[in-house]
Structure 1
Amino acid sequence: MQLQLPNPGRAIRRRATATREAFSSVEGFKKALLVQESDGFSSSSSGWWTWSNAHMDPTPPAERTWGWINYFFLWWSYGFSTECRAGVWTIGSSMIASGLTAWQAIICVFIAHLLGAIAIVVNSRFGATYHIGYPVFQRISFGVYGSLFPVLLRSGTGLVWVGVQIYQGGKFTSVIIRCIFGNGWKNIPNTIPASSLITTTDLAGDEGTRGRGDEGARGRGDEGARGRGDEGTRGRGDEETERHGAKDYVDRVIPMLIDPSDRAITFPLLFIKVHNTRWLWTIKAYVLPPCVIGLFIYTQVLHKSSGTTSFGTIKGYSGSTLAWTMLKYINSAMGKTSPSQVNQPDLARYAKTRTSLLWSQLLALPIANTAVACSTYAAWGTLIWNPWDLCTAILDRHWEGGVRFAVLLVSLAFTLSIFVSNQAANVIPFGADITALCPRVLNINRGQIIAYCLALPICPWYILNSAGSFLTFLSGYSIFLGPIIGVSCADYFFRKGNIHVPSLYTGDAKGQYYYTAGVSWKALVAFWVGCAPTIPGFAGTFGNNIATGAVHLFYIGWLYATISSTLFYLALCWVFPDQHMRKAREARFEQWADEQADLLDRERTLPVHRDGEGEDELAEKKIGHEVAGVGEVIY
Structure 2
Amino acid sequence: MVSKKAILEKLQVPQRKEEAEVWEQSRWLNRDNVPLPPNRRTWGAWSYVGYWCATGINISGWTGGSSLLSLGLSVGEAMAVAVVGNILIAIACVLTGLFGAEWHVGFPMWNRMTWGMKASFFPLLNRIALSCTWCATQAWFGGQVLKTLLGSIFPSIYRMHNPFPASTAMDGSDFMCFILFLVLSVPLLYIPPEQYRIPFLFTSVVSTVAVFALFFWSLARGHGGGPLIGSQAMEIVGVEKAKGAALGWAIVYGISSQMGGICAGILNNSDYTRFAVHPRAQILSQAVIIPVMGIFTCLIGIICTSVAAQFYPDEGLLWEPYTLLTVVQQNGGPGARAGVFFASLAFLVSQFGINIAGNAVAGGIDLASLFPKYINIRRGAYFVTLMALPMCPWALVSGATVYISVMGGYATFLAPMTGMMVADYIFVRNKKVKLSDLYKCNPESIYYYIGGVNWRAPVAWVCGVAPTFPGFLASVSTVQIPLGATHAYNLGWLLGFFISAVVFLALSKIWPPVGLGEVDDYDIFGTFGSPDGPESPGMVGSDIEDATHDDKKDDLEGGVHVMPIRE
TM bin (shorter chain): 0.7 to 0.9
Map of 1:237 onto structure 2? none
Q: Residues 55 and 308 from structure 1, CA distance in 2 versus in 1: closer, same or farther, beyond 3 angstroms?
A: closer
Map of 2:555 onto structure 1? 609
Q: Give the alignment of 1:383-532 within 5 angstroms.
A: 383-398=317-332, 400-493=333-426, 494-532=428-466
1:131 correspondence with 2:66: no
* Of 136, 140, 144, the match for 1:163: 136
Structure 2 distance, partners of 1:609, 1:28, is: 25
Q: Residues 138 and 26 from structure 1, CA distance in 2 versus in 1: closer, same or farther, beyond 3 angstroms?
A: closer
Q: Which amino acid aligns with 1:69?
A: W
Q: Residues 608 and 191 from structure 1, CA distance in 2 versus in 1: closer, same or farther, beyond 3 angstroms?
A: same
Gaps of at least 5 residues in structure 2 are 530-537
Tell me the CA shift for residue 174 of structure 1: 0.8
Tell me the CA shift for residue 624 of structure 1: 6.8
1:317 correspondence with 2:251: no
Tell me the CA shift for residue 309 of structure 1: 5.3
* Of 140, 143, 148, the match for 2:116: 143
* Of 212, 217, 224, the match for 1:298: 217
Structure 2 distance, partners of 1:595, 1:535, is: 45
Tell me the CA shift for residue 76 of structure 1: 2.8
Tell me the CA shift for residue 77 of structure 1: 3.3
Alpha-carbon deviations, 1:30-76, whole Å to 9, x = none? 544211357578788xxxx6211111111111011100011012113
Q: Report SS of the residue matched to 2:198.
A: helix
Alpha-carbon deviations, 1:545-601, whole Å to 9, x = none? 1000000000001100001111111111111102312x44xxxxxxx4896487424
Q: Report SS of the residue matched to 1:520.
A: coil
Calculate percent identity across the aligned residue pairs: 28
Task: Answer with 1 or 2: which has the greater Rg.
Answer: 1
TM-score where L is the length of structure 2: 0.88
Map of 2:89 onto structure 1? 116
1:34 correspondence with 2:7: no
Answer whether contact 2:128 2:367 (CA < 8 A) is retained: yes
Q: Residues 129 and 401 from structure 1, CA distance in 2 versus in 1: closer, same or farther, beyond 3 angstroms?
A: same
Q: Residues 436 and 628 from structure 1, CA distance in 2 versus in 1: closer, same or farther, beyond 3 angstroms?
A: closer
* Of 163, 167, 190, the match for 2:162: 190
Answer whether contact 2:54 2:353 (CA < 8 A) is retained: no
Structure 2 distance, partners of 1:535, 1:477, is: 11
Q: Which amino acid aligns with 1:194?
A: A
Q: Which amino acid aligns with 1:296?
A: F
Moved more, 348-357 or 100-109: 100-109
* Of 65, 68, 71, the match for 1:92: 65
Structure 2 distance, partners of 1:360, 1:628, is: 25
Structure 1 distance, partners of 2:223, 2:521, is: 59
Q: Which amino acid aligns with 2:179?
A: E
Q: Report SS of the residue matched to 2:299.
A: coil
Structure 2 distance, partners of 1:190, 1:52, is: 48
* Of 497, 521, 540, the match for 1:562: 497
Q: Which amino acid aligns with 1:447?
A: G
Structure 2 distance, partners of 1:114, 1:447, is: 32
Answer whether contact 1:43 1:608 (CA < 8 A) is retained: no
Q: Which amino acid aligns with 2:206?
A: V
Map of 1:333 onto structure 2? 258
Q: Which amino acid aligns with 2:493?
A: W
Map of 2:532 onto structure 1? none
Structure 1 distance, partners of 2:152, 2:505, is: 56
Map of 1:615 onto structure 2? none
Structure 1 distance, partners of 2:227, 2:498, is: 43
Q: Residues 392 and 574 from structure 1, CA distance in 2 versus in 1: closer, same or farther, beyond 3 angstroms?
A: same
Answer whether contact 1:41 1:57 (CA < 8 A) is retained: no
Q: Give RMSD over aligned pairs.
A: 2.6
Map of 2:32 onto structure 1? 55
Tell me the CA shift for residue 451 of structure 1: 1.3
Q: Report SS of the residue matched to 2:459.
A: helix
Tell me the CA shift for residue 372 of structure 1: 2.8
Q: Report SS of the residue matched to 1:533.
A: coil
Q: Residues 278 and 427 from structure 1, CA distance in 2 versus in 1: closer, same or farther, beyond 3 angstroms?
A: same
1:549 correspondence with 2:526: no
Structure 1 distance, partners of 2:142, 2:72, is: 28
Moved more, 526-535 or 98-107: 98-107
Map of 1:589 onto structure 2? none
Q: Which amino acid aligns with 1:570?
A: L
Tell me the CA shift for residue 456 of structure 1: 1.3
Q: Residues 41 and 432 from structure 1, CA distance in 2 versus in 1: closer, same or farther, beyond 3 angstroms?
A: farther
Q: Report SS of the residue matched to 1:456.
A: coil
Gaps of at least 5 residues in structure 1 are 1-22, 214-265, 585-591, 612-617, 630-635
Answer whether contact 1:113 1:337 (CA < 8 A) is retained: no
Structure 2 distance, partners of 1:366, 1:464, is: 25
Alpha-carbon deviations, 1:140-182, whole Å to 9, x = none? 0000101000000000000011111111111011111110012
Alpha-carbon deviations, 1:277-328, whole Å to 9, x = none? 1221100111111111111222233434997453533421221110000101
Map of 2:534 onto structure 1? none
Tell me the CA shift for residue 185 of structure 1: 1.2
Moved more, 147-156 or 67-76: 67-76
Answer whether contact 1:498 1:593 (CA < 8 A) is retained: no
